[in-house]
Chains A and B, each alone.
Chain A
Amino acid sequence: MVTLNNLSVARGGRRLIQGLNLTIGAGRAVILHGPNGSGKTSLLRTIAGLQLPAEGQVEVDEDSLIFAGHLDAIKAQLTVHENLEFWQSIYGSNPALIARALTAFNLENLSERAAASLSAGQKRRLGLARLIVADRAVWILDEPTVSLDTASIALFDAALATHLAQGGVAMIATHVALDQKATILDMQDFVATAQTEFDPFLEGSAL
């Protein structure tokens, strides 16, 4: 469902990753490992289509993809339920998924609370609940478990397992051991050796 052909990723004029070939089929998860600054976020943003590849292609159906980054995209003035309702109507998915998402991330008791009053971990759970509400096949997740406690990580693990069992695909950058059968992709193997400098102004200008 996701195919990367000879992909190179650059950030701020410097090439970070090169020569990445990868195919992810239905029901599979890929976990990215690598030290800070090794290009995990840039790679995920490139796959999501928020950034253009420096070289190579990403083959993925854009309408099947959802990205969750470091930020949770939560509006503090809205309640938990209103936040999810908004994303449900943006993605045009089944409204029944809101209730399922609330249950999956144990947010039912908080559903009428203003998002401003949530703790960091609760906000993150709300951010992840969006994945279920959006009902998309390809999850691109950047550090999804940050600020989650052990119980919440287990909730996330269970949601991920359900997603994969339904034939979904996930690509996750994380430092936490997840209880899933996943292909590990070590970023060290794709570190760019050719230190081509790009002009940051022209970066991504090849439309």
Chain B
Amino acid sequence: MRALLLRDIKLAMRAGGGFGLALAFFLVLVVLVPFGLGSEPAQLASVAPGILWIGALLACLLSLDRLFQLDYEDGALDHLALAPIPLTGVVLAKATAHWLTTALPLIIVAPFLGALLNLPNEGYFWLVVSLIVGSPSLSVIGAFGAALCVGLKRGSLLLSLLVLPLYVPTLIFGMEIVRRGISGQETSAPLALLTAISLGCLAILPFAAAQALRANLR
């Protein structure tokens, strides 16, 4: 599993791996917002948490279709399915690699982009906390969707349609944490729920994804 994780990180970093693509998309999206909504600081501040969360979510989605598809196309997925590591472990390693190469950079740049959108000072801490707690569920749900769509032509569009609705709970509670943080309210309830979503996804979805992969390899 460690070998697979390291290989996927290495592949993402090398030329053509798509590292930085999600990051650039996130940046462009956030920069576009003031053009669309007007550059009124108070108005931007009120939509900043939402834009940052939706931006991170869409950026996460960008690299998902490659998660299993590349290994499926070159035959490596067949061999991984027969290798001594369990397929659930393969899914977990790949989801972790996705989180490290896509979600983690997004979390790191999110506060800087928050400054572009005039995010209130109290919001920075909660933005980063909510992204750290919520993003593992984005990667694991995404891995499940990618496993369902592996082997399909033009699967990436179907993948978005499948995965985006499943991202709704994560988005709701992630947003709620930032909103409450900014207005000085108690944040422990949405934080606990978001943690539960992430842990629940981590516990269940790798098994479901492994079954989906097995069915798609037949």
Where the two chains meet, the residues of A that have a C-beta atom closer than 8 Å to any C-beta of B are 48-52, 62-63, 65-67, 69-75, 77-78, 82, 86-87, 89-92, 130, 203-204
- Interface flag for B203 (CB, 8 Å): no
Where the two chains meet, the residues of B that have a C-beta atom closer than 8 Å to any C-beta of A are 2-4, 7, 10-11, 14-17, 71, 73-76, 78-85, 215, 217-218
Q: Are B7 and A75 in contact (CB under 8 A)?
A: yes
Q: Are A77 and B14 in contact (CB under 8 A)?
A: yes
Q: What CA separation (Å) do A130 and B16 show in the bound complex?
A: 24
Among A69, A91, A204, contact of B75 (Cβ-Cβ < 8 Å): A69
What chain B residues lie within 8 Å of A74 (beta carbons)? 74
Q: What CA separation (Å) do A92 and B75 show in the bound complex?
A: 20
Min Cβ gap B88→A in Å is 15
Q: Are B74 and A52 in contact (CB under 8 A)?
A: no
Min Cβ gap A10→B in Å is 11
Among B11, B74, B83, contact of A71 (Cβ-Cβ < 8 Å): B74
Q: Are A90 and B83 in contact (CB under 8 A)?
A: yes
Q: What CA separation (Å) do A73 and B82 show in the bound complex?
A: 13
Min Cβ gap A183→B in Å is 24
Min Cβ gap A126→B in Å is 12
Nearest first, the 9 A-B pairs at minimum CB distance are: A71-B75, A89-B3, A73-B76, A77-B14, A73-B75, A90-B83, A86-B7, A51-B218, A204-B218
Min Cβ gap B162→A in Å is 19
Min Cβ gap B8→A in Å is 10
What chain A residues lie within 8 Å of B71 (beta carbons)? 73
Among A50, A72, A77, A87, contact of B218 (Cβ-Cβ < 8 Å): A50
Q: What CA separation (Å) do A89 and B217 show in the bound complex?
A: 23
Q: How many A-B residue pairs have CB under 8 A?
A: 69
Min Cβ gap B200→A in Å is 25
What chain B residues lie within 8 Å of A63 (beta carbons)? 84
Closest to B217 in A: A50
Closest to A83 in B: B7
Extra A-B contacts (13), CB below 8 Å, given A86-B3, A91-B83: A48-B82, A50-B78, A52-B218, A63-B84, A67-B82, A69-B75, A71-B73, A71-B78, A72-B75, A77-B10, A77-B15, A78-B10, A87-B79
Min Cβ gap A164→B in Å is 21
Q: Are B82 and A62 in contact (CB under 8 A)?
A: yes
Closest to A89 in B: B3
Q: Are B74 and A75 in contact (CB under 8 A)?
A: yes
What chain A residues lie within 8 Å of B74 (beta carbons)? 71-75
Min Cβ gap B169→A in Å is 30
Closest to B12 in A: A77
Q: What CA separation (Å) do A38 and B39 show in the bound complex?
A: 67
Q: Which interface residue of A51, A52, A65, A86 has the most chain B CB atoms within 10 A?
A: A86
Min Cβ gap A72→B in Å is 6
What chain B residues lie within 8 Å of A204 (beta carbons)? 215, 218
Min Cβ gap A152→B in Å is 19
Q: Which interface residue of A66, A72, A89 has the most chain B CB atoms within 10 A?
A: A89
Q: What CA separation (Å) do A130 and B18 show in the bound complex?
A: 27
Q: What CA separation (Å) do A74 and B71 show in the bound complex?
A: 9
Q: What CA separation (Å) do A151 and B210 show in the bound complex?
A: 41
Q: Are B14 and A67 in contact (CB under 8 A)?
A: no
Q: What CA separation (Å) do A128 and B215 show in the bound complex?
A: 26
What chain A residues lie within 8 Å of B217 (beta carbons)? 50
Q: Are A78 and B218 in contact (CB under 8 A)?
A: no
Q: Are A73 and B3 in contact (CB under 8 A)?
A: no
